[in-house]
Amino acid sequence: MAPLIRSLLSGSIVSGTPLLYATLAELLSERAGVVNLGLEGVMLVGAVVGFIATVHTGSATAGLVAAGLAGGLFNLVFAFVVVSRRANQLAAGLTLMFCGVGLSALMGARYVGSQIVGLPELRVPLLADLPILGPALFVHDALVYAAVPVAAGAWWVLFRTRWGLSVRAVGENPVAAFAAGKDPRMVHYQVLFLAGVLGGVAGAHLSLAVARTWAEWMTAGRGFIAVALVIFSRWHPLRALAGALLFGGAISLQLQMQALGVPLSPFLLDMLPYVLSLAVLAVWGGRARHAVPASLGRVFQGTQ
């Protein structure tokens, strides 16, 4: 029983880490009033660029930096379409997602099945030797350890800085923010680039730390789960921690049940995280309406 508990807890943390980074990316976008359904594509581009950079440099750190930069630049394409050209956000996001799927498959074609060392696991002295909890909580890669500080940093930036106030003001009422001297378009570009960086890092964690290989569409819908997690967290970065751990636990439970040979169809087990997503949307969707940024999904028209 102890090994199972340890595996479930460790798997929940590892599986929840890319979900958390992706959720924070979407949360920042939506706080500024932009829905980005293309996050899945951003994650895939980050995953493949990070993997390729790691293969050619031999450094997972260089791969991680390349993944974040690639995710940010790729998301700026979305920013140009919805901010400068005022396109529909939902249609543009879905198009970006499919573009990311195709682009990542093209770039990674020759690397399918390749193996890398990836991000090393770091042991926390003394704590890693604790029974059961030690290996589950204190033997992970750097991105896992950084997850909580990053979420806390996102909260601090959003609610304790002038820039965060500008982001929230634009998300609530871009016209009023414009009248107060803020440029909603500039804020949108800044937020979407930062969100792209986080999305790229989320994808890179899958290819550099979890799988340590490249496979087409390896994100397996995690970008869309992140959208559900934003609703679950009610657009609050710290609540996203609990949501990511919960959904990571669902993914870990699915994998553990398959490994144990539980007599259930593997297709039903694969559905588990997505059924949980639907349940979250059904239960929290109505309750979270008061937390939704008032101008979410609206295109700022500005001056003609």
The full set of domain ranges for the chain reads: 2-114+141-291
Contacts (Cβ under 8 Å, ≥6 apart) of 57: 63
Q: Read out DSSP for the chain?
A: -HHHHHHHHHHHHHHHHHHHHHHHHHHHHHHTT---TTHHHHHHHHHHHHHHHHHHHS-HHHHHHHHHHHHHHHHHHHHIIIIIS---HHHHHHHHHHHHHHHHHHHHGGGBT-B---SPPEEPTTGGGSTTHHHHHSEE-HHHHHHHHHHHHHHHHHHHSHHHHHHHHHHH-HHHHHHTT--HHHHHHHHHHHHHHHHHHHHHHIIIIIS-BB-TTTTTTHHHHHHHHHHHTTT-HHHHHHHHHHHHHHHHHHHHHHHTT-SS-HHHHHHHHHHHHHHHHHHHTTGGGGGS-TTTTPPP----
d(CA 157, CA 170): 15
pLDDT of residue 304: 43
The 10s digit of each residue's pLDDT in 73-129 is 999 999 999 999 999 999 999 999 999 999 999 999 999 989 999 999 999 988 888
Q: Give the residue-averaged pLDDT of 186-190.
A: 96
Torsion of CA 33, 35, 39, 41, to 10 degrees: -120
The 10s digit of each residue's pLDDT in 120-177 is 999 998 888 888 788 888 999 999 999 999 999 999 999 999 999 999 999 999 999 9
The 10s digit of each residue's pLDDT in 43-76 is 999 999 999 999 999 999 999 999 999 999 999 9
Answer yes or no: are the C-beta atoms of 48 and 207 closer than 8 Å: yes
What are residue 250's phi and psi, to 5 degrees?
Answer: -65, -40
pLDDT of residue 210: 94
Q: Which has more confidence, 291 or 139?
A: 139
Q: What's the CATH code, domain 2-114+141-291?
A: 1.10.3470
Tokens of 81: 């379409």
Residue in the block written with tokens 């559900």: 228
Minimum mean pLDDT range among 35-44, 199-208, 235-244: 235-244
pLDDT band for 1, please (50, 70, 90 cuts). low
pLDDT of residue 288: 56
Minimum mean pLDDT range among 69-83, 198-212, 290-304: 290-304
d(CA 217, CA 44): 7
Asked whether the predicted pLDDT for residue 291 surpasses 80, the reply is: no
The 10s digit of each residue's pLDDT in 217-275 is 999 899 999 998 998 888 999 999 988 988 888 888 877 777 777 777 767 767 777 78
Which residues are registered as beta bridge partners of 231? none
What are residue 221's phi and psi, to 5 degrees?
Answer: 85, 5
Any idea how long the chain is?
304
d(CA 19, CA 195): 13
Residue in the block written with tokens 């969100």: 195
Q: Which has more confidence, 221 or 3?
A: 221
pLDDT of residue 290: 57
d(CA 224, CA 41): 10
d(CA 98, CA 85): 20
Tokens of 70: 């690639």
Cα 143 to the chain's mean position, in Å? 12
